[in-house]
Amino acid sequence: MAGSITYLVTGGTGSFGRMFVASCLDNPKTKRVIVYSRDELKQHEMRAQFDDARVSYFIGDVRDKDRLTRAFQAEVDVVVHAAAMKQVPACEYNPFEAVATNVLGAKNIIDAAIDCGVNKVVALSTDKAVNPVNLYGATKLCAEKLFVQGNSYAGKSSTRFACVRYGNVVGSRGSVIPVFMRQRETGTLNVTDERMTRFWITLDQGVKLVHTAVARMIGGEVFVPRIPSMGLIDLARAIAPEARIHIEGIRPGEKLHECLISSDEARHTVRLKDMYVIKPEFPWWGSAGWAQGEPLPDGFEFTSDKNERWMSATDLARMLEIMHNQGHPVGRRKDDFRKKSAPKRISLGAA
C-alpha cells in the first residue's frame, strides 16, 4: 500500500491490539493509528504506554454501527478487527451477547467499511471456528463467513475483506499459561485432560501474520500460520515440573484436539513456506493469485494432534523469555521459568 497509512484496530486495548499498535508505530509509513474500544480505563492506561501523537482513541462498541461509521470516516485505510467475546464459558452463559458482539458486530464492521471506503479489513479468527462445538466457535465461524462474503457486498468498490485464523496465544489474557504460573505457587496444576493438545502462537507472530495478510490479501482469503502444537500435560510439566497435576475432566464446549484446516477446506487451500491460504470458492473470486502455493493432498487436515511441528519445553521457555524482554507482564526470564517452587513430587490423576 503506497503512501501513508491510517489503521483502525477494534479491541485495540487488548493483548493483541497493544502489540499491533506498537508495530504500526515502528513503521514510518504509518500516518495514524485509531484505537477503537469500549473501556475508557484501558484506553487511559494505553495513553501512558504510547506517547505518540499518531495514536488516537475512540470509545465505541462494535455493536454500534453509527459509531463505527463515524470512526471509519477518519480516512481509514486498514481496519484490523480484533474485538470479540472470546471466553468459552462467558459465551455459553451469555449467548445473545456473544451473537450480538461476534456476529452482528462483524456485520457492522463490513457495512461501515464499505460505506466509508476503507481499503482493507482483516478480521481475527480462531481454530475454534473449525467444526465448532461451542457457541464461541460457532459465532467466529459465522463471522468468518460474513467477512469472506463481504467481498461480494463490496461489489465494485475498493473495500476488500480477509481473515486470519490461529490457535492459542502464548501469554494472552485468559491463556492457560498465566493460570499455570499462578497455580504452580500452590504446588498443584489443574489440567482438564492429559490427552489434550492445542496450537500455540506468540503475540508477535500473530501481529506479523496480520501485517502479511494486509500486504498480500486479494480479498476473501483465510490466512492460517503453520504453528506448532503442544500437549496440555507437557505444557503443565514444562511450567511446573515438580508440581502435582490434578485432572479435572474436559469441560463443556471443549475439544480434545483443535483443527485449523478441515479436510473440506483443504481442497481449496494452498501451502506456502510459513502459512496456508484458504481460498474462497465463489464466482466473484476470479483472481489467479496464490498460484505459487502448493495444493494440499486429498484428506489433509491441520489438527493439533497430527501436527508436523511440536513445541518443546525449551521452545516455551524461549518464547516466555522473549516476551519478558519485550516487557510483557506474562513473560519470564529463563531463571524464573526453571524455578522449582512446588513440592518435589509428580502425580497424574484426579484427587
pLDDT tens digits for 150-182? 999 998 899 999 999 999 998 676 678 888 888
- Which triple of cell numbers denotes residue 225? 500460520
Q: Tell me the one-letter amino acid at 296.
A: L
Please count the structural domains in the chain: 1
Position 317 in a domain: no
Q: What is the mean pLDDT of residues 5-12?
A: 98
Residue (of 337, 348, 335) closest to 188 by Cα position: 348
Q: Any idea what DSSP says for residue 327?
A: T
Residue (of 33, 55, 54) closest to 44 by Cα position: 55
From the number of C-beta atoms within 10 Å of its C-beta (0-12, 13-18, 19+), residue 94 rates as middle
Position 320 in a domain: no
Who contacts 283 (Cβ-Cβ below 8 Å, separation ≥6)? none
Position 83 in a domain: yes
Confidence at residue 350, expressed as pLDDT on a 0 to 100 scale: 33
Position 183 in a domain: no
Position 285 in a domain: yes
pLDDT higher than threshold 80 for residue 268: yes
pLDDT tens readout for residues 28-41: 999 999 999 999 99
pLDDT tens readout for residues 284-295: 777 667 888 999
Position 43 in a domain: yes
More confident residue, 328 or 102: 102
Position 342 in a domain: no
Distance CA 55, CA 32 (A): 6
pLDDT tens readout for residues 234-265: 999 988 988 999 999 988 888 999 999 999 99
Position 30 in a domain: yes
pTM: 0.90
Q: Is 128 a catalytic residue?
A: yes
pLDDT tens readout for residues 324-344: 776 665 555 455 544 443 333
pLDDT higher than threshold 50 for residue 345: no
Who contacts 113 (Cβ-Cβ below 8 Å, separation ≥6)? 72, 79, 121, 150, 159, 161
Q: Of residues 120, 128, 140, 255, which has the active-site annotation? A: 128
* CATH value at residue 265: 3.40.50.720
Contact 164, 213 (CB under 8 A): yes
pLDDT higher than threshold 90 for residue 127: yes
Range of the domain at 265: 5-171+200-227+259-303
